[in-house]
């Protein structure tokens, strides 16, 4: 890993990381404010009961009541907007890095220096991991600020949401690995981004389908979304080590494959 290249990659990504980090921090605060103002446990109970069991299961509804304080705030960690703000900068950074920066000619410039391809890609993986930590930290801080500053009928415990944030971090690191692998054979950044989004969309479908049809239970094990269920983490008040290990395994395998492909492809 090269620290100068690491700083350079983080400078390139800083605007996207700052904007998405600020957005997810604000969104988590607004979720707490919405719960305090709307009190869905009193006003929206009937509506949430109409949501199909499979949809509620995606957010951990089989473990916690989504309209409870803890259940609703845990749902905020898997809200589509949260996933968008978390995954967008990581997919963008990974796709630019793994595809080699061919469009900008940066890879040719980098490899004209005494840097191996492995050093370049490992440094970019490190930059992406730093980005994952920053985004998840912003999400958790937003949740914490909202809980501290906004009166709630019952203040949720802090520790379960620390575990939920760790679950989110592992999920996001695994997303980075998938994005690197999807982008590694590509030369164009747009193709790399599109491939990464398509892979994640298929994974989400597999997880959703498994909640309705038993036929998809086995394929759903290949989905990252199967192992990212903050509602379950909050309910059990612990990080499921099996899920954590699988997410880390996803990242290790996909990053290793991406590195191998990148080392052997034409730039």
The string of DSSP codes covering the chain is --HHHHHHHHHHHHHHHHHHHHHHHHHHHHHHHHHHHH-HHHHSHHHHHTS-HHHHHHTTTTTS-TTSHHHHHHHHHHSHHHHHHHHHHHHHHHHHHHTTSTTTTHHHHHHTSS--HHHHHHHHHHHHHHHHHHHHHHHHHHHHHHHHHS--SSPPPSHHHHHHHHHHHHHHHHHHHHHHHHHTT-SSHHHHHHHHHHHHHHHHHHHHHHTT-GGGTTGGGG-GGGG--HHHHHHHTS--HHHHHHHHHHHHHHHHHHHHHHHHS--
Tokens linked to 6: 């690491």
d(CA 50, CA 199): 30
Domain hosting 82: range is 3-264
Report the predicted TM-score, pTM, of the whole model to 2 decimal places. 0.86
**pLDDT score for 143:** 93
Tokens linked to 12: 């390139």
Q: Which residue has the tokens 């220096």?
A: 113
Torsion (CA) 220, 221, 224, 226 in degrees, nearest 10: 70
**pLDDT score for 224:** 92
**pLDDT score for 70:** 83
Q: Which residue has the tokens 């490899």?
A: 111
d(CA 206, CA 199): 11
Torsion-angle region of 239 (φ positive above 0: left; ψ -120 to 50: alpha; else: beta): beta
Tokens linked to 115: 């840097």
Tokens linked to 189: 């950044």
CB-based burial of residue 79 (10 Å sphere; 0-12 exposed, 13-18 middle, 19+ buried)?
Answer: middle
Torsion (CA) 82, 163, 41, 39 in degrees, nearest 10: -60
**pLDDT score for 47:** 53
**pLDDT score for 18:** 92
Q: Domain total for the chain?
A: 1
Q: State the 10-residue block means of pLDDT for the chain, 267 residues long.
A: 72 87 94 80 57 59 66 86 91 71 52 62 86 95 92 86 94 93 78 86 88 84 90 85 93 90 68
d(CA 127, CA 246): 22
């Amino acid at each position: 890993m090269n620290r100068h290249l690491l700083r350079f990659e983080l400078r390139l990504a800083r605007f996207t990381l700052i904007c998405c980090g600020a957005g997810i921090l604000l969104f988590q605060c607004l979720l707490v404010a919405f719960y305090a103002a709307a009190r869905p446990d009193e006003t929206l109970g009937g509506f949430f009961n109409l949501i199909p069991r499979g949809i509620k299961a995606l957010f951990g509804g089989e473990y916690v009541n989504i309209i409870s304080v803890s259940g609703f705030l845990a749902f905020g960690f898997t809200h589509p907007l949260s996933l968008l703000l978390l995954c967008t900068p990581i997919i963008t950074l990974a796709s630019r890095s793994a595809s080699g920066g061919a469009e900008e000619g940066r890879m040719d410039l980098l490899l004209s220096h005494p840097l191996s391809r492995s050093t370049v890609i490992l440094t970019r993986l490190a930059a992406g991991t730093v980005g994952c930590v920053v985004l998840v930290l912003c999400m958790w801080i937003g949740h914490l600020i909202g809980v501290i500053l906004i009166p709630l009928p019952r203040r949720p415990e802090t520790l379960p949401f620390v575990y939920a944030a760790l679950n989110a971090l592992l999920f996001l690191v695994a997303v980075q690995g998938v994005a690197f692998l999807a982008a590694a054979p590509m030369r164009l950044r747009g193709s790399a981004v599109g491939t990464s989004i398509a892979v994640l969309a298929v994974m989400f479908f597999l997880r959703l389908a498994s909640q309705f049809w038993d036929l998809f239970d086995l394929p759903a094990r290949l989905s990252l979304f199967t192992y990212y269920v903050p509602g379950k983490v909050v309910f059990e008040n612990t990080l499921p080590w099996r899920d954590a290990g699988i997410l880390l395994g996803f990242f290790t395998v996909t990053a290793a494959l991406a590195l191998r492909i990148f080392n052997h492809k034409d730039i």
